[in-house]
Structure 1
Amino acid sequence: MFDVNLPPPTARSLLLTVVGELMHSSTEEAWTTALLRVLGGLGIEEHAGRQLLARAAAAEWLERERRGRAVHWRLAGRGLGLVSNGIRRSNAYLAGPPSWDGRWLLLFVTVPNQLRTTRKRLYGGLSWLGMGNPLSSVWATPHVDRKDDLSELVKSLGLEASSLAVIGPVQATGMTDREIVRNAWDLTSIAESYELLLAQLEDLAEPSDEDDVLLTYLRLLNVQQRLMRRDPFLPELLLPEWVGREGAETIRRRREQWAPIAHARWAKIVQECAPD
Structure 2
Amino acid sequence: MLESPLDLDETRPPARRPGPVRGPSARAYLLIVLGDYALDRGGSAWTQTVVDALAMVGFEEKATRQALTRTAAAGLLTPHRAGRRTRWQITRTGHEYLTAAKHRLFAPGPEPDWDGGWLILLTNVPEHHRNLRHQLRTALGWAGFGSLGPGVWISPHPTHATEARQVLDSLGEPVHGTLLHARLDDPDERHQLVTRAWDIPQLDQRYQEFVDRFTTIRPHAPGEALAHLAHLVYQWRRLLLADPGLPPTLLPPNWSGERARHLLLDRHATWLQQATTWWQAQQIGNAAGP
Question: Are residues 1:257 and 2:259 paired?
Answer: no
Structure 1 window deviating more from structure 2 (219-228 vs 33-42): it is 33-42
Q: Deviations over 1:83-107 (max 9, x none)?
A: 2221222232xx2222322222322
Q: How does 1:161-200 map to 2 (within 5 A)?
A: 162-170=176-184, 176-200=189-213
- Aligned pair in 2 of structure 1 residues 257, 167: CA closer, same or farther (>3 Å)? farther
The one-letter code of the counterpart of 1:131 is: F
CA distance in 2, matches of 1:245, 1:184: 21
Q: Deviations over 1:216-241 (max 9, x none)?
A: 11110111100000112211111142
Q: Deviations over 1:188-236 (max 9, x none)?
A: 22122122222222333x1110110111111101111000001122111
Decide which of 164, 176, 191 is 1:150's aligned counterpart. 164
Match of 2:49 in 1: 34
Judge conservation of contact 2:116–2:185 (CA < 8 Å) in 1.
no
Structure 1 window deviating more from structure 2 (67-76 vs 47-56): it is 67-76
- Aligned pair in 2 of structure 1 residues 154, 79: CA closer, same or farther (>3 Å)? farther
- Aligned pair in 2 of structure 1 residues 198, 91: CA closer, same or farther (>3 Å)? closer
CA distance in 2, matches of 1:161, 1:116: 11
Decide which of 226, 231, 237 is 1:219's aligned counterpart. 231
TM-score relative to the length of structure 1: 0.87
CA distance in 2, matches of 1:248, 1:29: 29
Displacement of 1:35: 0.9
Judge conservation of contact 2:123–2:178 (CA < 8 Å) in 1.
yes
Q: Deviations over 1:48-73 (max 9, x none)?
A: 11111111111212221112221111
Structure 1 window deviating more from structure 2 (98-107 vs 42-51): it is 98-107
CA distance in 1, matches of 2:30, 2:70: 11
The one-letter code of the counterpart of 1:50 is: R
- Aligned pair in 2 of structure 1 residues 275, 240: CA closer, same or farther (>3 Å)? same
Aligned pairs, number: 266
CA distance in 2, matches of 1:185, 1:43: 33
Match of 2:143 in 1: 129
Displaced runs of 4 or more, over 6 A = none
CA distance in 2, matches of 1:77, 1:122: 27
- Aligned pair in 2 of structure 1 residues 87, 166: CA closer, same or farther (>3 Å)? farther
Judge conservation of contact 2:204–2:256 (CA < 8 Å) in 1.
yes
Decide which of 18, 25, 45 is 1:10's aligned counterpart. 25
Match of 2:63 in 1: 48
- Aligned pair in 2 of structure 1 residues 268, 159: CA closer, same or farther (>3 Å)? farther
Judge conservation of contact 1:104–1:144 (CA < 8 Å) in 2.
yes
Secondary structure of the 2:87 match is strand
Identity score, percent:
29
- Aligned pair in 2 of structure 1 residues 19, 275: CA closer, same or farther (>3 Å)? same
The one-letter code of the counterpart of 1:19 is: L
Displacement of 1:178: 1.6
State the Cα RMSD in Å. Answer: 2.3
- Aligned pair in 2 of structure 1 residues 74, 168: CA closer, same or farther (>3 Å)? farther
Secondary structure of the 1:237 match is helix
Judge conservation of contact 2:168–2:176 (CA < 8 Å) in 1.
no
5+ long unaligned stretches in structure 2: 1-21
Match of 1:3 in 2: none
Judge conservation of contact 1:105–1:143 (CA < 8 Å) in 2.
yes
Question: Are residues 1:207 and 2:219 paired?
Answer: yes
CA distance in 1, matches of 2:281, 2:211: 31
Match of 1:4 in 2: none
- Aligned pair in 2 of structure 1 residues 109, 29: CA closer, same or farther (>3 Å)? same
CA distance in 1, matches of 2:185, 2:110: 24
